[in-house]
Amino acid sequence: MTANREYVKPFAITCKQCGHINVFKQPYAYHAGFADQGFLYNDEGNLTLVWSAYDSDYVKIVGQANPWVITEEKQKAFENWLPPAPKGGNWGFKNPGRCLKCKAEITPPIGLNIYYVLYPDSIVVDGHNSGSLKDLART
């Protein structure tokens, strides 16, 4: 007997500027608050960094605060602590997620939106069997 299985469709965002359908290997946009996570996009807007809001290195830099409500001063301190993104510049609190075809914004940055998408080759160090921020620290 074969079991009936439902397969989750990938999540997609259609770019309002060019109409390109950006497909992500996730069932929906993830809610950072539900998982106590922070996220940043790189300057190019085509890579995501996700970390735990309880990560000890994050807390040393900004204190015990949710990433989406910290001051600009603490945002800059954290950004300066991070190494450059593996591709597409640096990580930034003001960086939106962008269309993979035309580079128009398709999802706002963390300060304006608590939902995020994972671009291909994204980095997830949220403490759940996936490392921590110390694995990324500048040497």
Residues of the chain with pLDDT under 50: 1-2, 139
Q: Look at residue 46 in the predicted model and tell me its pLDDT.
A: 98
Q: Look at residue 1 in the predicted model and tell me its pLDDT.
A: 45
Q: Look at residue 137 in the predicted model and tell me its pLDDT.
A: 65
Contacts 24+ apart (CB under 8 A), 104-113: 104/15, 104/16, 104/17, 104/18, 105/45, 106/13, 106/15, 106/16, 106/22, 107/13, 107/29, 109/40, 109/41, 110/32, 110/38, 110/39, 110/40, 110/67, 110/68, 111/68
Q: Look at residue 4 in the predicted model and tell me its pLDDT.
A: 58
Q: Look at residue 9 in the predicted model and tell me its pLDDT.
A: 81
Q: Look at residue 5 in the predicted model and tell me its pLDDT.
A: 56
Q: Look at residue 6 in the predicted model and tell me its pLDDT.
A: 56
Q: What is the pTM of this model?
A: 0.90
